A and B are shown apart, each in its own frame.
Chain A
Amino acid sequence: MTTPVRMVSESTVPDAALLNDWHVVAFTKDVPAGKIIPATLLGEDLILWRDASGQVHAWKDLCIHRGARLSKGWIANDTVVCPYHGWRYDGSAKCVLVPAAPDQPPPLKARAFPHTAEERYGMVWVSLGEPKHAVPHFPEWDDGSFRKFNTGPYFFKANGFRSVENFIDATHFPFVHGGLNGLEDAPDKVEDYKVFEDESGISTSGIRVFQPYGDHRQVPVNATYTYRVFRPLVAYFSKQVEIADSERKHLGNPDDRFCTFLTAQPVDEVTCIIRLCVAINFGENLTEDDILRRQDKVFSQDKDIVETQRPERIPVDLRAEIHHRTDKFGLLYRKWLGSLGLTYGIA
């Protein structure tokens, strides 16, 4: 929905492909009933709130009356109250009370600007347009043998696509995550792998690496990563782990997997917020704190490097920057972004 006025802050127009897509803007747990939570998506300021029935709402952060920010308002009687003149909007986005004229029905045109919102995987997904795809399917979500945890949010002063590309890159481990996901002095030789593209996105065959502290158990592992990118800002890996230390190998199982479903909220072209849902089917004794501590460490290391990348926007012209054979998946990611006709966030 468009507003009748052009906001000064709305300078760059995001592509239809991004507007008509789902983006995560919060964790479910961060939008409790009775509170208004501000968020920004593709340059548009939003409010998130949850009504008494538990339904989550994502509206433009704007009162149509005098243009005040609803994010400065509050919730009363299951309505959003504008902080300026107290106009109240209910869950259908309709104004139900103009306090200065309490005996009259409010003007029909007095409505908030709602967007489509859904909750999945402990996350709030919003589309600013008409979603052309369903929210991507996280394969392990319905598998009861996996425990799931939300980790983040991680605030990156970096382009969302650059941040996703970092997540699907298997050759940075020894340097960015040295001593954890790789060894700086003995970086893995990454064997050739295959890449695939289909209607559900892009993916790889397994990529095998050695990791000195490859998972939260703090044991050395041989890990095989299989990556997938479902949508431009939603990616995933399944990491099969095998304990590399022969004395402790029996503590693991060949089916042990740690999976990560990553979403990047494009705040604007050069800022994003990373949120994860991780799924793990081993290490029963690992606590949520163990999992969070490691994820926080890894993503703070990623943040430090991705925030330095120039140009900030990702180049999709494959002749810009240099691509090595081992960058095959990142290269396919850029090519795929280009084929989607994206310009927002693109160099």
Chain B
Amino acid sequence: MAVVVTDKCRDCRYTECVTVCPVVCFHGDDRMLYIDPVSCILCQACIPVCPVQAIYDEVDLPPGMTRWVEINAERAAALPLIEDKQTPLKTMT
């Protein structure tokens, strides 16, 4: 099982999720974040704080989005940890 970030995060990267994660499992590039499925403890704290509902528990992923499980695992392994809140790329209205 995994909790995954999907493409709604891209170019938003609000990073509120990072401030509530108890285990520092978010990785990212300059466009979006990904969750490391090995260190994630499945607490789901990040899901309700995402302003664009980009984060899903794997079992709740809408049809056609299951590929994000693999993408998160691959990208998180390749990207640096994001431990602190970043400047969001979009302004929330």
A positions within 8 Å CB-CB of B:
192, 318-319, 322-325, 327-328, 331
Contacts and interface: CB of A to CB of B under 8 A. Distances in A.
B78 interface: no
- Among all A-B residue pairs, the 5 with the closest Cβ atoms: A318-B41, A323-B22, A325-B22, A319-B41, A325-B20
A30 B84 CA distance: 51
B42 A327 contact: no
B21 A325 contact: yes
Contacts of A327: 22
Interface string B35-75: 00000011101000000000000000000000000000000
A323 B19 contact: no
Nearest to A328: B22
Chief secondary structure at chain A's binding surface: loop
Given A323-B41, A325-B20, A325-B22, 7 more contacts: A319-B41, A322-B43, A323-B22, A323-B23, A324-B22, A324-B45, A331-B23
A331 B23 CA distance: 8
A324 B23 CA distance: 9
A319 to B, nearest CB: 5
Contacts of A192: 19
Contacts of A323: 22-23, 41, 43
B42 A319 contact: yes
B24 to A, nearest CB: 9
B23 to A, nearest CB: 7
A324 B21 CA distance: 8
A288 B23 CA distance: 42
Nearest to B39: A318
A327 B21 CA distance: 11
Contacts of A318: 23, 41
A323 B22 CA distance: 7
A310 B33 CA distance: 36
B31 to A, nearest CB: 25
